[in-house]
Amino acid sequence: MKTLNLFGAEGRMMYWSLRRYMFNTVAMVAVLFLIFMGMFWGVKTIGGSGVTGNSLDSMLVGYILWVSAMLALGNTGGEILSESQRGTLEQLYLSPLGAHRIFFFRAIVNILFNFIIMTIMLYLSMAATGRWMTINLLYLYGMVFLSTLSLVGISFMMGGLGLIHKKISSVNGILSFGLIGLMLLPTYPMTPYAFLPFIAGAAAVRNHIVLGANFPGWWYLFIAANSIFYMALGLAVFKRMEKKARKLNKMNQY
């Protein structure tokens, strides 16, 4: 019950912040849409008639996956940094439920909010390109949610490093852009790349939605296990860094 109240608190905090910074929220959707349209027209112009409907669908789904991944990856590290800059980080550490739970639920709320933004972006893009896909949103977001949990784990590792080293945005940048290449790697049936975070889930989403490929149940279980593994690893690293930050009295410093 307490955990549910914490989740509610994070949800409300997200709502209040969005309402107060409405311009920023609208600008974020606009920027994501404009980037996609830029990519779309770029591919159309360079590829000409060689660009098929499938490759455009793949680009749109790939873009949604990458944006979701990027936001999940930068979440906890970014939140710790901004809490630290705001001077509210230590108050979060006074919660008897633990700061790691606060940041975990904040990440979940962010992912869920991201789905709303992505849906808006998806339909805007389809309307603008005239290429309408039949997308099973439940499958899309279910799978994105499941696989981005692994990136939340990586984000916790970054957050832990952020507690000690404070400025880690360049590392986040490298990881985010590295993901673009990694997401194109083959994962099924069971290549070594499948053990990397997020990659197997992203490939499953792309292949299912764009190519109509179906996967056996064990593959989805593997994706879930991959997420749980990275989430647990991320939390373990975060807790260790937290302990170190307490030892060095680095909680309040930016």
Judged by CB under 8 A, the residue of 24, 54, 91, 136 near another protein is 91
Could you tell me how many residues make up the chain? 254
- Helices 99-129 and 53-86 pack at an angle, to 10 degrees, of 150
* Helical spans, DSSP H, in the chain: 2-20, 22-47, 53-86, 89-92, 99-129, 137-165, 169-182, 199-211, 217-248
Number of residues this chain uses to bind another protein (CB under 8 A): 35
Instruction: Determine, following the binding rule CB under 8 A, whether residue 21 of this chain makes contact with another protein.
Output: yes
Options 8-16, 109-117, 143-151, 181-189: segment touching another protein (CB under 8 A) = 8-16
Instruction: Determine, following the binding rule CB under 8 A, whether residue 3 of this chain makes contact with another protein.
Output: yes
Q: Which two tokens stand for residue 66?
A: 């990458």
Instruction: Determine, following the binding rule CB under 8 A, whether residue 5 of this chain makes contact with another protein.
Output: yes
Which one, 94 or 138, has the nearer CB to another protein?
94
Instruction: Determine, following the binding rule CB under 8 A, whether residue 164 of this chain makes contact with another protein.
Output: no
- Helices 217-248 and 99-129 pack at an angle, to 10 degrees, of 130
Which one, 10 or 57, has the nearer CB to another protein?
10
Is residue 86 within 8 Å of 59, Cβ to Cβ? no
Options 174-182, 190-198, 202-210, 244-252: segment touching another protein (CB under 8 A) = 244-252
> Nearest approach, Cβ of 4 to another protein (angstroms)?
8
* DSSP character string of 193-231: GGGSTTHHHHHHHHHHHHH-----HHHHHHHHHHHHHHH
Judged by CB under 8 A, the residue of 63, 102, 108, 187 near another protein is 102
Instruction: Determine, following the binding rule CB under 8 A, whether residue 92 of this chain makes contact with another protein.
Output: yes
Contact residues for another protein, defined by CB under 8 A: 1-3, 5-6, 8-10, 12-13, 16-17, 20-21, 86-98, 102, 243, 246-249, 251-252
